[in-house]
Every structure is written in structure tokens, then in C-alpha cells.
Structure 1
Amino acid sequence: MSEQVIPGRNTAAAEGGIVVFHIGIRINRFRAVRNWFPAFASMPRMLRELSQDKGSGLLGYKVLYGGPRDFYVVQYWASKEQLLAYAYEQDKQHRPAWAAFNRRARNGKGHVGIWHETFIVPAGSYESIYVNMPAYGLAAATGVIPVGRRGDTATQRLKSGDRAS
């Protein structure tokens, strides 16, 4: 992602519905490295795999730090079908990582936690604004356009999204 500031008021170039997927890890016991490190290390491999496959449905993502124990990723997907397809594909990184996590979790006594939340967001149900910012969040995933193309206020941008569906 470019860190170059885009002057003025902009919005995401997203069209139609999107899926927002949050996934995170919480290290409950730092000293139990063998329990949490494999799960921690699997996410970059999955993100690389998804980013290299233009048909995967992953539009973009942002890795975030939630504190010394918490790391998470916000992902933007084109559809829930593509997100779920990736989760269950036998020949992709996710399935073996998930199976390995479950095996370690059974023996790990809660040393590591994971979580995820999925939001299905129909067209017209999201809006965005970025003022003097690099492409960020949804805009980094879908592109940036001047805010006036969708409306100058949040209300106008939400109504603009209704027409995109």
C-alpha cells in the first residue's frame, strides 16, 4: 500500500456489496510459543496466497496491532461465497492451518485464542471519507475517487450506494 497522501476529500471506489472480515489472534500465555507461534505465522502465508490469486475474492486487507497480546486483520472481500470457498478449499493454506490450530488448541490449555467476525454489507449500507490520507481501509482495497462523485455528505454517499446495486 502506498503511503503517499492523496490531497483533499476522497472516498472508496467500491461498487455494490462487500464483505468485511475481521480475524485476530490473542496470545494468552507468551511463554507457550509453540502453541501460538504457528497460528501467528500462518496468517502472512494465507494473505500472500490470497493476494497472488486475483480470482480469490480478497479485495484487500490491513494488519492491525491491538496491544501486546492482540493482532488482527481487517479483510475486504468481493463476496461471502468467495470467503467461504477459501475457508474450505483443501489445497489452500487455510485448511491445514485451521486443522493444526485445532490440534494444538486441544492440548494447549487456552494459551492462544483466535476470533473472527464477518459482516455482509449490501450496496447502499456503507460509505467512507478520507481527508488528506493515503489510500486506507476500503479505499486501499478498491481504489480512491473524489468524494464529490458520490456526494459531499455521508447521507448523500449512502444514497449514492443504493443506485450502485
Structure 2
Amino acid sequence: MLLQVCAPSWDVPAPVFLPWKTAEFLPPLTKQRKKKQVVFTTATTFIFPLDYGGSAIPSDHGPPIGLAKTHTRQECQYLDSLAPKKSRVLKFDHVERMVLLQQEASYSRKDVAMFCFESFAVQKSRLETNQADDDDDGSGDEARDEDDAEEPPVKRRRRSP
């Protein structure tokens, strides 16, 4: 016995030619990005007087120096007349910072000495914290005692100036 399978015939229309879908009308597959450029014409510089900067503790000993809360003057410069130049951040050693605070910021020797003690206390606290973090990282495989987990953190009082 033979089975004969009849496939239905589908009437498919002939493809339609659409000229706007040809290669010359389609956008390229990879677009070249336009280079964007920003040009500044003026620079405004705010001039701040030197002051005690408690937010930035130096890595060596001595008081931190910073900027006052408000600026004393402002300068505007046209940038098209200036040639670009490279510069580095100026760093002062601890003796220079003490002299600057006394002469430029008009602090007394006693005030500068207090700033030095405060800076030293912050550096010491940071060193102790880093050492404690290093000790915690090294003992990851060892089991902790229950007493260690229940110890409250040590509270430190801050001296008022």
C-alpha cells in the first residue's frame, strides 16, 4: 500500500521591490561617532586665606594647614591667551606649616602647639585602627572566642580646643 501525501500549495506573492530599502538608502551598520569637544573661555579663581585645616591630617608630624571658610577675592582670566602648563602640588614640611600658621594665619605659638598635639592624636588613632584591622585580617581561619565578640567598642573622648 502506498501513501500519497499532498502538500497544499500556497500562493506567495512575488517580492515587492522597495527602492528606499536598498543599500544606498540604508544607514551604515557602524556609525562613526562625532568627536565632542568642550572649550572653556574663562576661568574664575577664588583666593582663600591660609587657615588651620583640621580635615586634612598630614602624614608626617605637625599641624595641618588648609583654607579659610570664605574667600577674600576672586580673579577672572581669559584662557585663550594662556599657554597650558604643568605644575605640581606644593607640600610643606611640619616646620614650614607651623611658621605659616603663625605668620600668615596669625595663630599664637600655643594654638599651633595644640594643633600639633591634636594632629598627633589623630595619627596615633589611625595607626592603632590600621594595626587592629591587620590583626583581624590575619586571623580569619581561627575561631573567635565568645568573649571577644561581646566586647563593646572603646569610646574615646575628644578634647575641646
TM-score exceeds 0.5: no
Name the one with the larger helix percent. Answer: 1
Name the one with the larger strand percent. Answer: 1
Q: Which structure exhibits the higher relative contact order, with contacts defined as CA atoms closer than 8 Å and separated by 6 or more residues?
A: 1
Q: With structure 1 as the length reference, what TM-score do the two structures score?
A: 0.23
